[in-house]
Amino acid sequence: MEEEARKLLEEGIRKKLVSPGKGELSTFPNGTKVVFHYRTSLCDGTVLDDSRTMGGQSKPMELILGKKFKLAVWESIIITMRQGEIAEFLCDTKVCDTGSLTSFSSTPWKVQRHCCGIAQIHSHHSLGHKDLDQLQASPQPLVFTIELLEVSRRGTAWNEEKLEFVPQIHEEGNMLFKQGQIKEATDKYYNGIACLKNLQMKEHPGDEAWVKLDHMITPLLLNYCQCKLLEGQYYEVIEHCSVESLTGLETRGCL
């Protein structure tokens, strides 16, 4: 435990154990899947993000180690924990850079298309949230409270199994659309997108695997929006599609 604490301090991270976990500390090789709840807050206690309340529901985060997902510092702190453990990590500004702000602005795919913090700043000179804009302008230490729920060695295989179902879901949606069952087709496309988005969140934005998943999401998203157009849900279509995508919808049917 002392050795773990020393290594974290060298990286600018101070750990405080809240509740001990069970068993021996895992070796956490690359490909290990970890599931955990997290809360991100400022040193004054202001909460920026909480997986137990985000989007009005409690949904733990899933991370495949070795992918450098969102906050690279998360990998550094997770590998010091035992399953069932709860701990607080005070992280210096040097390990909480602007690019890490993507973790705070995560929202369900149906609210907005994926956009990392850096891209959001470059496009709009803002992250879209006042507290995050202030943090980006004046970086400060952050506190991550982590509860490690599950550690599994089947991360990669598990992802591949989920990915295999997406083409089938896509085809089922297309069949329902051709039969005029628009609502049912919409649900199929939604499920396919949600599955791919969930997998994409485990990849580092811009990496080959992330881009591949993004290319798979696009036709499903366009089909979903085609259904929403037929249902008269125009504002939702606008939320999801660029001008180029909307033009494409006018000249094509479902893929």
> pLDDT (tens digit, 9 = 90+) per residue, 51-95?
888 766 677 888 778 765 556 788 888 889 999 999 999 998 877
Residue 228 has pLDDT above 50, yes or no: yes
> Which residue type occupies 99?
G
User: Two tokens at 92?
Assistant: 């210096």
Residues of the chain with CATH 1.25.40.10: 155-249
Q: Which fold has domain 155-249?
A: 1.25.40
Residues of the chain with CATH 3.10.50.40: 2-152
Q: What is the pTM of this model?
A: 0.56
Q: Which fold has domain 2-152?
A: Chitinase A; domain 3 (3.10.50)
Cβ pair 21, 83 in contact under 8 A: yes
Cβ pair 165, 195 in contact under 8 A: yes
CA 45 – CA 51 distance, rounded (Å): 16
